[in-house]
Amino acid sequence: MDARIARSSVAGRVRAPPSKSYTHRAILAAGYADGARVEHPLVSADTRATMRAVEAYGGRVDRDRAEEYLDVEGFDGRPDTPDDVIDCANSGTTMRLVTATGALAPGLTVLTGDDSLRSRPQGPLLDAVRQLGGRAESTRDNGQAPLVVGDSTGGGGVSIPGDVSSQYVTALLMAGAVTEEGIDVDLETELKSAPYVDITLEVLEAFGVEAERTGRGFAVPGGQSYRAERYAVPGDFSSISYLLAAGALAADEGRSVVVEGAQPSAQGDAAIVDVLRRMGATVEWDRDAGELTVTRAALSGVEVDVGDTPDLLPTLATLGAAAGGDTRIVNCEHVRYKETDRVAAMATELEKLGAAVTEREDELVVHGDDSDLRGARVEGYHDHRIVMALSVAGLVADGETTVEGAEHVDVSFPDFFDALAGLGADVHRVD
């Protein structure tokens, strides 16, 4: 499916979708428990993969028709050996988090996914499972899925790199709570995307599980039980970033875009608010009401370190293409190992739209003064974040922009194009 976006002005109120990161963790935490209700979840392609995994391990997930909550019947810390292969589809979060779950089962669990997921690095997590006495293999012996894990992994100490994915830490902490010994995670390198582990700690606390930072990593005591009657998922700041960018770049003269569902949380991507302010945008945040208000402004380029906020890179690159001066996105090599190489993807597609871009291994520089955005046909790389960021660029590009693979927004923001249209954007989806 393609999305066609014409240069548009936007204004009005829009609600952000629930957080994908929190939803994944809440579903799995409820699975580790004997059950819980997850309220206001994001029901998307990725989170459905986590639901399927919980059911494969012996749990059950029931959705109400309006998808306002999920009733999860858990496996109470003792996952079954699945009857079949677990297909994680395109969800890297699912694969990493439930790989550690599968390592707890008495038999062997096989996990796979689509072409993109089967190219993403899993080696450090497999090595951690082996350090804990479990079986963990890549069927192609390349550190990538399909994976085989199991043999009732125990607790203990592990040493892993921190600069590949914070999801390894999350997986080990969530599984470690129900082992006898617990798990101590020693980080060999600086932790990238650290706020995502803060999200994990927040969800664990809500389910009555203790975990903590240590001098060189994290630790979770063993012998714990997950317990919570209900858990409410907050709004998603990664998704909010596209809505704020749309307002800052294309809000109707004298009007604003108000984003609802922006309650404060541990999400690192809330940094988009401060970045936009640094660029010259007027952004007001009523934290009590959970509302962000943004108006259009002439933006200036800034330098942004995305070591902790990799999902913001596509949004920042789009903002830089419409801002004055240079927008320098640094510490971004790990962003190359997402659903696609997002650094290269944004550089390539923004250039098609008329942006001037310099790409380096760990840096992306967008030269706003040398950019003149005009409509073009651009590729979405089967990546929800690339699709949404390029669609926002289409709001300020002359003529019409066609973004391929529009259906992939279902991964994190299924109603994205309806939300843009509701704000007045000239957007159409074409099969």
DSSP string, 195-240: HHHHHHHHHHHHTT---EE-SSEEEEESS-----SEEEPPBPHHHH
Q: In what order do the strands lie in the sheet with 135-138?
A: 86-87, 108-112, 147-150, 135-138
pLDDT at 300: 98
Q: Are residues 228 and 260 in the same domain?
A: no
pLDDT tens digits for range 150-191: 999 989 999 999 999 999 999 999 999 999 999 999 999 999
- Kindly tell me the burial class for residue 108, based on how many C-beta atoms sit within 10 Å of its own C-beta (0-12, 13-18, 19 or more): middle
pLDDT tens digits for range 273-306: 999 999 999 999 999 999 999 999 999 999 999 9
Low-confidence ranges of the chain (pLDDT < 50): none
Supply φ then ψ for residue 19, to 5 degrees. Answer: -70, 130
Using DSSP bridges, classify how beta strands 12-15 and 256-260 pair: parallel, antiparallel or unpaired: parallel
Q: Are residues 199 and 267 in the same domain?
A: no
Go through the chain and tell me how many residues it has.
Answer: 431
Q: Are residues 285 and 216 in the same domain?
A: no
Q: Are residues 296 and 380 in the same domain?
A: yes
pLDDT at 336: 94
21 annotated ligand-binding residue:
yes
pLDDT at 64: 84
- Work out the widest C-alpha separation in the chain, in whole angstroms: 63
Using DSSP bridges, classify how beta strands 426-430 and 400-404 pair: parallel, antiparallel or unpaired: unpaired
Domain range holding 255?
2-17+235-430
Q: Are 187 and 216 in contact, with CB atoms under 8 Å apart?
A: yes
Q: Are 228 and 36 in contact, with CB atoms under 8 Å apart?
A: yes
Q: Are residues 130 and 251 in the same domain?
A: no
Q: Are residues 376 and 283 in the same domain?
A: yes
One-letter amino acid at 297 equals A
166 annotated ligand-binding residue:
yes
Q: Are 358 and 368 in contact, with CB atoms under 8 Å apart?
A: no
Tokens of 364: 């992306």
Q: Are residues 340 and 401 in the same domain?
A: yes
Last residue of a domain, one of 181, 213, 232: 232
Q: Are 21 and 195 in contact, with CB atoms under 8 Å apart?
A: no
Q: Is 76 left (phi over 0), alpha (psi -120 to 50) or beta?
A: left
Q: Are residues 208 and 279 in the same domain?
A: no
C-alpha distances (whole Å) from 200 to each of 24, 130, 155, 183 are: 10, 23, 19, 15
The residue written with tokens 């999305």 in the block is 3
- Quick one: which of 362, 360, 361, 364 has its CA closest to 389? 364
pLDDT at 65: 79
CATH of the domain at 334: 3.65.10.10
165 annotated ligand-binding residue:
yes
352 annotated ligand-binding residue:
no
* Residues ≥6 apart with Cβ < 8 Å to 142: none
296 annotated ligand-binding residue:
no
Q: Is 311 in the active site?
A: yes
Q: Are residues 35 and 137 in the same domain?
A: yes
Q: Are residues 123 and 240 in the same domain?
A: no
120 annotated ligand-binding residue:
yes
* Residues ≥6 apart with Cβ < 8 Å to 145: 88, 95, 111, 112, 113, 117, 118, 120, 122, 138, 139
Alpha-carbon span 150 to 268, nearest angstrom: 33
Distance from the Cα of residue 150 to its chain's centroid: 26
Last residue of a domain, one of 188, 215, 232: 232
Q: Are residues 269 and 227 in the same domain?
A: no
167 annotated ligand-binding residue:
yes
Tokens of 4: 């066609």
Q: Are residues 85 and 134 in the same domain?
A: yes
pLDDT at 67: 79
- Would you tell me how many other CB atoms lie within 10 Å of the CB of residue 372? 12
pLDDT at 408: 95
Last residue of a domain, one of 232, 262, 284: 232
The active-site residue out of 236, 269, 311, 326 is: 311
pLDDT at 66: 74
Residues 200, 153, 129: CA angle, nearest 5 degrees: 65
Tokens of 128: 């951690």
338 annotated ligand-binding residue:
yes
Looking at the 3D structure of the chain, how many domains does it have? 2
20 annotated ligand-binding residue:
yes
pLDDT at 431: 85
* Residues ≥6 apart with Cβ < 8 Å to 289: none
Q: In what order do the strands lie in the sheet with 400-404?
A: 377-378, 400-404, 2-6, 426-430
Q: Are 317 and 364 in contact, with CB atoms under 8 Å apart?
A: yes
Q: Are 391 and 403 in contact, with CB atoms under 8 Å apart?
A: yes
